[in-house]
Amino acid sequence: MRRLRRVAAWGAVAGAGLLGVLQLFPAERSNPPVVWEVDCPAPVRGILERVCFDCHSHETRWPWYSRVAPVSWWVAGHVEDARADLNFSDWPAFDLEAQALARRSIEQQVEEDRMPLRSYRLMHRRARLSAAEREVLLRWARSGG
């Protein structure tokens, strides 16, 4: 029993040391300047800001855990991928065809309850869409403008 405690203690020390070393390799977290803003009605804008902008814009609010490796690497990678898929800070730079494709994607993702991600909703209660908010987003996405 005593040997088991000693092994557990050394394991805890090694784990803490490893976590400490990982902090020497911070994730890249950036919020480039916002040059454009998505043109949409105020109710839609409010929903997008609350539910989508943390991942899909240059207005990410980086939570405390985005500064702690290895979780920080996952969060930063997720934001980078999300911005590559759809970045509301670049919306006006899209041509009309790209905007239409983005709207269809938004419609599909919201209809199928794939966005916001369940893992994000679990950590961010404010990102949960009500039925009415879901309908506002779907109406906007379908309207084409």
**pLDDT score at 59:** 94
Q: Which domain holds residue 16?
A: 2-143
Find where tokens 């961010």 sit.
Answer: 124
- For the stretch 110-125, pLDDT in tens is 999 999 999 889 988 9
Number of domains in the chain: 1
Give the sign of the dihedral formed by CA 89, CA 94, CA 96, CA 97.
negative
Contacts of 78 (CB under 8 A, 6+ apart): 55
Q: Is the pLDDT of residue 132 over 90?
A: yes
Long-range CB contacts for residues 7-13, cutoff 8 Å, separation at least 24: none
| pLDDT at 129 exceeding the cut of 80 | yes
Instruction: State pLDDT tens for residues 10-29.
Output: 766 665 665 565 565 666 77
CA gap 26, 24 in Å, rounded: 6
Mind listing the pLDDT tens digit for each residue in 20-78? Answer: 655 656 667 788 888 888 889 999 999 999 999 999 999 999 988 888 888 888 889 99
Q: What is the pLDDT of residue 97?
A: 87
